[in-house]
Amino acid sequence: MMSAGIVGCVLLAVHLVLMVACAPLARGLLAAGMAWAGGAERVPVLTRWRLIRSCARRHGVRAAGVAEIAPAMALATALAACALVPSFVLGLPGGGLSDLLTVSGLLVLARLLPLLAALAPGGARAGLASAGGVGALAAMQAVFPLAVAAAVMATGHGGIDALLGRLRDPDPGGGRVSAMLLAVALLLAGPDIGPGDEARAADMMVDLGGRGRAAMELARDLGLIAWVTLAGDLAWPGGLAMPEAGAQLPAAASLPGAVVAWLARTGGICAGIVAARVVVMGSARAVRGRLVLALLFAALAVVVLFADQEVA
């Protein structure tokens, strides 16, 4: 019989495989939903996977300096963030390192590296797109201190596993409402899902080709699936498989249902993003509006937790 450590490593590998496999599908689902909502030509959900596979098969021009190492660094950073975000099970190896500050920092770094790589060659098109992306990314950083503060108030140290475990308690107090508000704030501030973000990303990677372009595209998709999964965990922690009292790993029978629950959460959040893009984020001032809304939801999450602690 395999030890708990080996089983945990196997489950971690399954978690990463699922995240990598579903990341391009999630962005493809968003693209297909936006095309359908806007009455445009139908976009296949597998478009992103086809693009990544096509880029990986080509031999691009060898870049120099930051542009050469940035794709691999962005991909590794996004993979590290995905490894720390629970998708269908709690208690995996490395769960003790998973806290909101670490994960959000890794995901922000994964978005920053493509911006720096776009500035390195000195091209006008990529440089202008990168400058706009840096401004938008810097503005959103005001949200994350509030999000981390809410997690620390809920658990004492901001650990994601501890926070989700507490939210599964029968009486979490105001924690459940605060977690839902926090999930909305992170979705608004974290991923590149606003109007113009796709065009800006394409402009930033115009000088990349081959495997470097494929790695950068996959890193973008992994960042999106990590934010979506984290928001889904906070909004619906009951779908996660959790070890029983005294056990290191959850029962095997609970794992298939947990995977289905994660897929359902991911699809539901993608549908919500499409609806928000159409209703809320369709204006020219979308970045400013997203920042205001994200700050509002994050502040409300802290206020709800503070009020709950005062009552207690």
Average of per-residue pLDDT across 113-125: 72
Q: Indicate the pLDDT class of residue 124, thresholds 50, 70 and 90.
A: low
Q: How confident is the model at residue 57 (pLDDT cuts 50, 70, 90)?
A: confident
The predicted model scores a pTM of 0.91
Measure the CA–CA gap between 191 and 171, rounded to whole angstroms.
31
CA distance 2 to 226: 29
Mean pLDDT of the chain: 83
Rounded CA-CA distance 181/298 in Å is 6
Residue 6, pLDDT above cutoff 60: yes
- Name the 3-class secondary structure at 94: coil
pLDDT band, residue 81 (cuts 50/70/90): very high
Report domain extents, the chain: 4-28+44-240+248-311
Quick check: 133 pLDDT over 70?
yes
Residue pointed to by tokens 């493809």: 28
The three-class DSSP label of residue 302 is: helix
Torsion from C-alpha of 81, 248, 166, 193, nearest 10 degrees:
20
Residue range 123-152: average pLDDT? 75
Measured on CA atoms in the order 110, 113, 115, 121, is the torsion positive or negative?
negative
Query: Which is higher by pLDDT, 278 or 220?
Result: 220
**18 confidence band (pLDDT: 50, 70, 90):** very high
Q: How confident is the model over 227-263, as pLDDT tens digits? A: 999 999 999 988 898 877 666 677 778 899 999 999 9
Q: What is the DSSP letter of 251?
A: -
Decide if pLDDT at 311 tops 60. Answer: no
Q: By C-alpha distance, which of 141, 12, 188 is closest to 86?
A: 12
3-state SS, residue 93: coil
Encode 162-175: b = buried (16+ Cβ within 10 Å), e = exposed. bbbbbbeeeebbbb
